Structure 1
Amino acid sequence: MKLLKKILVGLLIAVVLFVFIGLVFINSLTPTYSGEQELTDLTADVSVYFDAYGIPHIYGETEEDALRALGYVHAQDRLWQMELLRRIAKGRLSAVFGADLVETDMFMLTLGIDEHTNKTMSHLDMDSKTVQLAQAYLDGINAFVDKGPTPVEFYLTGLDKTPFQLEDVYNTIGYMAFSFAMGHKTDPLLTELRNKLGDGYIQDLAITSDTSSTWIKNYKLPSRDSVSASVTAQVTQLLEKLPVPQFVGSNSWVLAPEKTKNGKVILANDPHIGFAQPSVWYEAHVTAKNYEKYGYHIAGIPFPLLGHDRNLAYGLTMFQNDDINFYFEEYHPSDSTKYKTAAGYASFEIVTKTIKVKDGEDVEFQFKKTKNGPLLNGVSKQLYSERPIAVSWVYTQLDNQVMDALYGMTHATNMEEFKKALPKIHAPGLNIMYGDAEGNVAWWATAKLFEMPDSLSTKFILNGAVANEQPLNYLDFSENPSAVNPPWQYVYSANNQPDSVNGKLVPGYYLPENRAKRIVSLLEGKDKWDKSEAAKMILDVTSSVNPSLVAEMIRLVDIKELSPEQTKQMDLLKNWDGSYQLNSTAATLYHRAEYRVVKNIFEDEMGEGLFQDFLKTHLFKRQIAHIAKKDHSPWWDNINTPDVKEDKASIATVSFKEAWESLVEDFGPNPDEWTWDKVHTVEHEHPIGQVESLRTYFNVGPFPIHGSREVINNLSFGYDDTGFYKVTVGPSTRRIIDFSDIENSISILPTGQSGNPLSKHYKDQALLYVNGEFRKMMMNKEEIIRESTDILLFAPK
């Protein structure tokens, strides 16, 4: 007995010791929010006050000092996110996640972001203020890499921490630029549909914007061929494997003093980005001599893409202009090393790359480049075409001055200084939204736009062997769409079509008018806005379009084929106001029916594969209202039933009945049980959360959530046969900047400020976000010092 007792006591001591060591180890991995740290090259102490949600308020003597501290605290909360973002352009994800990411790495290397970065680095002015501040920020990151605790993801993946370099900043910007682009999802799809079905079907697709829909108004006056496998599918599949979110859409509006209660500008902005954990933005309030900015940072980029101070505020939405073209190339008939051009045959440039693969052999591959760009053929094992296809992307074809633009925007003190920075943004295309304390409001569409020959559509794959399908010239920034202090006293953007400039529309992949129409109706219908009313508007969940689509469907449904209960629900649906509250049953029935309508219209002609590709494009979103207006179209008939000719009414009737049956199967026959909260949910997924046993530790959610796709509170999802709507895209932040009370402007993040799962700020905003609540963006130093419980002091080393 004594021996057994000794053994049990020994085991207990061992277990306690193991748990103690484990807790000490885990605690050592958490971010440091208080105490003192030494940093090399500081000229004086830097104080960092963390507010209740972990937002750092950084006070330094010089801007370089403040950015060193920013780099350190940003890294301790987001080093894993920084690591993944810098790896994408250089094709280094396979080294972390294994062979499953090899084709994605091949695709990203083929795009040439890393080569373009190398070219940019070769002629950078290393003495410029842009570079000096970026390097100070990187110095702070590397100080954490050198002596800070290693985030748990590095242990789980076996990855070593390595220093960050200036090229990593530019590579991250390059990925961001490609993430905005939609041409890779649309052009090959439309080409394949045209070749498969002919022009009769193509002319009934919403390829160009409807002139009767809501467009963004300009105001220039000063004052205040045959593809044998789906390129679209393969490119989309490769990008879906990326362990970081992609940029999708956004809302923003800026109200002039005449539209507000307090006679000061109000700016609202909520960029729509793929949900992930950690969330995209890192908030930081940075103050130094002659500089202050409350900004939202992408991991690894020193200057905020969204920001404000006491003088001005700016936000962004995606422009959605067409900056990617695809070209069919033509091989020499007897020499596969050459391709045809308008001036004769030219030799392909051959590029060789090597990809490191975790737990596997290195993968070496080659790709060819033409004057139009790299060939996609051979990049993916499944990506096959009978003809070579080259991709031409504005980002890699022009000099990269985006960092200089961000520096200029963040250091501007007035509207004219701010505007001077914008022509340096060649890609991605952005709608820059602006307001200031002087009462100015403005919108500028920023991108290097090009002019194509008349009547040539860039929405299809072009012919690379001829001269008349090439861009004619690049336009001057003055020809970009914009509005500065317009007489209607507000500017807005919802990724919709901007009005023409000099009689010409900018081609793009714009989203439908749904959000824009609702925004305009609310702004036009009211003056005297304040911060609380703007916050209510940014959470608006009412569709401006869907009730009219319901009315059209109900008009067509054959009531004689419906049961009494179905007829009753049809009447309730008829009175639906388009609102997406959690207890709505009409919203659930509408989306089940809409998906069945779309599937019954398009899948028979497209086939299952192309139909799935179609559902992932902005073209699909524009198509819903577009096709509903057409009483006659070849799409209405089901080609798989040659003995029956379906029409609009029969499609509406069968789709409603199918939707009803699916809801009965999922939730039972009582329609009161078909509430929106049961089908519309959000989960913020961490790359390591894909391992089921680790999901609860790394993922945040799931939560039922109000809102829907293409309402102002745009919580978007993909359609499939399940009839459940897992939100994948939504507001990456909601910000309201009120110049009548700048120190009480408000914001929220989807999960939390920190990307470290062991941090108390990993998910402390998640429920606030789901419930539509906000928190203050503090700028008053006395209040910040008074309210901060965590203070980190950086001293010169």
Structure 2
Amino acid sequence: MRIIKKILLILSILLLLILVVGWMYYTSLKPNYSGNINLSDIQNETDIYFDDFGIPHIYAESQQDAMTALGYVHAQDRLWQMELMRRIAPGRLSEIFGKDMLQNDQFFKSLGIEETTSKSIKNLKPASETYKLATAYLNGVNQYIENGATPIEFTLIGIEKEKYQLSDIYNILGYMSFSFAMAHKTDPLLTVLHKKLGTAYLKELSIDINPNTTLIKTSNQDIENFENLVSSVQNVMGNLPTPAFIGSNSWVVSSKKTATGNVLFANDPHIGYSQPSVWFEAHITTPNYEMYGYHIAGVPFPLLGHNRNYAYGLTMFENDDLDFYKEINHPSKENSYKTPTGYANYEITSKTIKVKDSSDVTIEVRNSRHGPIMNDVIDQISQTEPIAMSWVFTQNESEILKAMYTISHASEMNDVKKGASMIHAPGLNIMYGDAKGNIAWWAAAKLYKHKPHVNRKFILDGASSEDDIVEYLDFSENPMAENPSWEYVYSANNQPDTISNMLYPGYYLSEDRAKRIVDLIEPKNDWNKDAFGQMINDVTSAIAPKNIQQLVSTINTTALSETELKSFEILKKWDGSNQVNDVAPTIYNKWIYTYLKNTFEDELGEKLFGQFLKTHILKRMIAEQLQKDTSIWWDNIHTENKIETKKDILSSSFTEAISSLEKQLGSDISTWNWGKVHTLEHGHPLGTIDALKGYFNVGPFPVKGAREVIDNRGYTYNKSGIYNVTAGPSTRRIIDFSDIENSISILPTGQSGNPFSEHYNDQSEMYNNGEFRKMKLNKEEIIKNGTKLTIKPKK
């Protein structure tokens, strides 16, 4: 008996020790939101108050001290996210994830982002404030790496922490710039469609076919090449462990359209959902500077921000800043290609990719005068037909870091405009409002022209100079509006009007969101913060009810089954709302998919149709296509003895949709709720492992919203009828210059990327419900409700 007691005692002690050690380890991994720490290169004691949602409010005697503090607290909440972001552009994901990321690394390593980074850093003056504050931020990040806890993701994957460098910031901005582009997903696809189907089919897709366009001659091998190029690029972008930037809304109304007589500002950038979410909020105050900013991981200056004097935000311009060129190799000389002045040698660079649990992989990247040859990094493309990628970002020195500094340190409206003029790529709409009553937007991008015959939506001729860029436009020719007479500015990624006698080529979104925004803003002149809050959560489609009218006009109701007739009546009465409990959007989205499938898949084939569903072209053409009584697309090419009409396609698609929904959701239509099929899960890279999903992922949740409503949600139409939401508002943010201290915002999950933090997902329920929290500026309120972390100079 004594032996058993001793064994039990020993086991109890061991269990207690395990629990104690486990608790100590757990506690050591939590972010430090209070107490005292000592840092080098801090000149004066700096106070950081974390509010009730974990947002740091930094009070420092100088901006350099503040930036060092920012780097430290940013790293303690988001170091894992920083690590992923800095690895994408230089092709270093395979180091930690293995062979699964090799294609991604090969692709990004070929783009030239690293080379552009090197040039930009060489031209950044060490005496400039941009350099000083960026290096102060890096200093804070690196001191956390040296002295702070190691995030659990590093331990689970088995990687060491590395200090951050200025090149990491530029590489992160380079990746962000590429993720905005749409041409890499679209141009090769359109080339395939043109060669496979001809001009008549493309004209009806509203892509501005110029009858005078001279297209390069291509072979069947080209079609296969371009199909594989589209597929590979879409796979690369879909396989990244970080979110892509896809769209956005913003609107700013002047004092003449508000109840208070002050400017109101709203912005909700649309970005891929992830955990942690994209933005890290931080409020900095020094004797000569204040900014409440939204930062992406690893970048010192906020891309969104406001203070008591002005607010700025962004949406995606969606201009075309990337072109593909087909080069012609020398018939016998290796590594030589044709140029307008004769044959020239490719510039060849060898690059090595380290791969976890495998040997290093060395790739050779060839560059023509237009850019890198994509055949070298995408195995599925034939080596005999070189395709070069020309991208504005790598063709010019990047000043985006300097631009972000300039915009976030503005004294007046013209300073923000100056910062916007420095941005060459990505194309952004910079939105602006201030306490003086000014409102504005500027399209920030390096725009350019080709000769009239060139259609940039196709693969261009690289061998001659006929398809080369002929002129870069001055910033003054970019779309913009400053204090317009109509008293508001807005952007919903839609086509901008021209101020220089040309419409700028791009991959703009359909008018759905833009029309809804204008319809709401235009008639109302007593806007306030609460009304803006309702508007930014608006889920009503301005276009869907009109699309339903086309269905209603073609359906013979006498031939419908009972379930079909009930579904028809629900759609007929629908106002376009997309709330969680609505039934109509479940029916509508399924019908849209079957209509698209029955209209386009017979010509495109399954593979191209799947690629087509992922482009902006699809969103732009649905409403226009449904309006057409005659269209070359209506006919099913697989039926020999019948030419299908619009009525045939829409009617059969409706029948197919309802039949599919009955099998999926049952015969009781009242249970076909939108939230049952429209769900959101914020995925962490380690959440793909079943055993870890519950610890790292946030969700899933049934959510409101839909494609191209103001509360915009990204998902792909598919035969399953399940719409896993992949993108949407990365924040909903409203600044009220009549009550600046009570401006409001929300994040999709939480401020922290540390799963042991209480702020890992504490905003998710509020976000899903369309609620807000304050972006606090009042120091007394912040101190009263916050915890204090004091940073002292290390002696």
By the TM > 0.5 criterion, same fold?
A: yes
For residues 345 and 151 of structure 1, what CA distance do their matches in structure 2 show?
53
Aligned to 1:164: 164
Tell me, what secondary structure is at the counterpart of 2:374? Answer: coil
Deviation at residue 400 of structure 1 after TM alignment: 1.2
Deviation at residue 790 of structure 1 after TM alignment: 4.2
Aligned to 2:174: 174
Aligned to 2:102: 102
Tell me, what secondary structure is at the counterpart of 2:376? Answer: coil
Task: Judge conservation of contact 2:69–2:791 (CA < 8 Å) in 1.
Answer: no
Deviation at residue 122 of structure 1 after TM alignment: 2.3
Tell me, what secondary structure is at the counterpart of 1:469? Answer: coil
Task: Judge conservation of contact 2:687–2:693 (CA < 8 Å) in 1.
Answer: yes
Name which of 399, 417, 442 aligns with 1:419.
Answer: 417
**What is the Cα-based RMSD across aligned positions, in Å?**
1.2
Aligned to 2:627: 629
Task: Judge conservation of contact 1:33–1:50 (CA < 8 Å) in 2.
Answer: yes
Aligned to 2:766: 768
For residues 733 and 603 of structure 2, what CA distance do their matches in structure 1 show?
44
For residues 335 and 775 of structure 1, what CA distance do their matches in structure 2 show?
65
Aligned to 1:221: none
Counterpart AA for 1:271? P
Task: Judge conservation of contact 2:202–2:209 (CA < 8 Å) in 1.
Answer: no
For residues 304 and 628 of structure 1, what CA distance do their matches in structure 2 show?
42
2:192 is aligned with 1:196: no
Counterpart AA for 1:638? N
Task: Judge conservation of contact 1:716–1:727 (CA < 8 Å) in 2.
Answer: yes
Deviation at residue 178 of structure 1 after TM alignment: 0.4
Tell me, what secondary structure is at the counterpart of 2:154? Answer: helix
- Number of residue-to-residue matches in the alignment: 783
Tell me, what secondary structure is at the counterpart of 1:467? Answer: coil
Task: Judge conservation of contact 2:613–2:717 (CA < 8 Å) in 1.
Answer: yes
Task: Judge conservation of contact 1:69–1:794 (CA < 8 Å) in 2.
Answer: no
Task: Judge conservation of contact 2:567–2:587 (CA < 8 Å) in 1.
Answer: no
Deviation at residue 644 of structure 1 after TM alignment: 2.2
Greater Cα offset, 483-492 or 630-639: 630-639
2:142 is aligned with 1:146: no
For residues 666 and 301 of structure 1, what CA distance do their matches in structure 2 show?
45
Task: Judge conservation of contact 2:39–2:791 (CA < 8 Å) in 1.
Answer: no
Query: Which residues in structure 2 correspond to 1:655-666 (within 5 Å)?
Result: 655-666=653-664
Tell me, what secondary structure is at the counterpart of 1:351? Answer: strand
Task: Judge conservation of contact 1:227–1:387 (CA < 8 Å) in 2.
Answer: no
Task: Judge conservation of contact 2:366–2:376 (CA < 8 Å) in 1.
Answer: no
For residues 790 and 209 of structure 1, what CA distance do their matches in structure 2 show?
61
Aligned to 2:78: 78
Aligned to 2:186: 186
Greater Cα offset, 319-328 or 406-415: 406-415
Task: Judge conservation of contact 2:41–2:793 (CA < 8 Å) in 1.
Answer: no
Name which of 450, 455, 458 aligns with 2:456.
Answer: 458
For residues 167 and 568 of structure 1, what CA distance do their matches in structure 2 show?
60
2:419 is aligned with 1:438: no
Percent identical pairs in the alignment equals 54
2:58 is aligned with 1:30: no
Aligned to 2:115: 115
Task: Judge conservation of contact 1:749–1:769 (CA < 8 Å) in 2.
Answer: yes
CA distances 1:210-261 after superposition (whole Å, capped 9, x unpaired): 9xxxxxxxxxxxxxx3331411111110121110000000000001000000
CA distances 1:575-611 after superposition (whole Å, capped 9, x unpaired): 1000001111111000000000001111111111111
Aligned to 2:739: 741
Deviation at residue 41 of structure 1 after TM alignment: 1.1
Counterpart AA for 1:705? V
Aligned to 2:46: 46
Tell me, what secondary structure is at the counterpart of 2:44? Answer: coil
Task: Judge conservation of contact 2:276–2:750 (CA < 8 Å) in 1.
Answer: yes
CA distances 1:80-117 after superposition (whole Å, capped 9, x unpaired): 01111111111100001010001100000011101111
Structure 1 gaps, min length 5: 211-224
Aligned to 1:305: 303
Query: Which residues in structure 2 correspond to 1:216-615 (within 5 Å)?
Result: 225=218, 226-229=222-225, 230=227, 231-384=229-382, 387-615=385-613
CA distances 1:382-428 after superposition (whole Å, capped 9, x unpaired): 34475110000000011111111111111111112221222110110
Tell me, what secondary structure is at the counterpart of 2:375? Answer: coil
For residues 546 and 706 of structure 2, what CA distance do their matches in structure 1 show?
16
For residues 575 and 88 of structure 1, what CA distance do their matches in structure 2 show?
48
For residues 261 and 705 of structure 2, what CA distance do their matches in structure 1 show?
31
CA distances 1:28-71 after superposition (whole Å, capped 9, x unpaired): 01110000011111110000000000000000000000000000
Task: Judge conservation of contact 1:689–1:695 (CA < 8 Å) in 2.
Answer: yes
Greater Cα offset, 120-129 or 24-33: 120-129
Counterpart AA for 1:343? T
Task: Judge conservation of contact 2:376–2:383 (CA < 8 Å) in 1.
Answer: no
Tell me, what secondary structure is at the counterpart of 1:273? Answer: strand
Aligned to 2:62: 62
Task: Judge conservation of contact 2:714–2:728 (CA < 8 Å) in 1.
Answer: yes
Task: Judge conservation of contact 1:44–1:796 (CA < 8 Å) in 2.
Answer: no
Aligned to 1:15: 15
Structure 2 gaps, min length 5: 211-217
Aligned to 2:214: none
For residues 16 and 635 of structure 1, what CA distance do their matches in structure 2 show?
71
Greater Cα offset, 465-474 or 50-59: 465-474
For residues 188 and 389 of structure 2, what CA distance do their matches in structure 1 show?
11
Greater Cα offset, 628-637 or 7-16: 7-16
Counterpart AA for 1:259? K
Tell me, what secondary structure is at the counterpart of 2:160? Answer: coil
Task: Judge conservation of contact 2:406–2:416 (CA < 8 Å) in 1.
Answer: yes
**Normalised by the size of structure 2, how large is the TM-score?**
0.97
For residues 493 and 616 of structure 1, what CA distance do their matches in structure 2 show?
22
Name which of 731, 752, 755 aligns with 1:754.
Answer: 752
For residues 359 and 691 of structure 2, what CA distance do their matches in structure 1 show?
28
Task: Judge conservation of contact 2:303–2:313 (CA < 8 Å) in 1.
Answer: yes
Greater Cα offset, 376-385 or 129-138: 376-385
Deviation at residue 455 of structure 1 after TM alignment: 3.2
Counterpart AA for 1:540? D
Deviation at residue 703 of structure 1 after TM alignment: 0.4
Deviation at residue 13 of structure 1 after TM alignment: 1.8
Deviation at residue 796 of structure 1 after TM alignment: 4.1
Counterpart AA for 2:88? I
Tell me, what secondary structure is at the counterpart of 1:682? Answer: strand
**Normalised by the size of structure 1, how large is the TM-score?**
0.97
Deviation at residue 118 of structure 1 after TM alignment: 1.3
Aligned to 1:218: none
For residues 49 and 335 of structure 2, what CA distance do their matches in structure 1 show?
61
For residues 633 and 44 of structure 2, what CA distance do their matches in structure 1 show?
70
Task: Judge conservation of contact 1:557–1:650 (CA < 8 Å) in 2.
Answer: no
Counterpart AA for 1:174? G
Counterpart AA for 1:450? Y
Counterpart AA for 2:343? Y
Task: Judge conservation of contact 1:443–1:483 (CA < 8 Å) in 2.
Answer: yes
For residues 310 and 551 of structure 2, what CA distance do their matches in structure 1 show?
47
Counterpart AA for 1:10? I
Deviation at residue 569 of structure 1 after TM alignment: 2.3
Aligned to 2:215: none
For residues 766 and 565 of structure 1, what CA distance do their matches in structure 2 show?
36
Deviation at residue 542 of structure 1 after TM alignment: 0.1
For residues 569 and 728 of structure 2, what CA distance do their matches in structure 1 show?
31
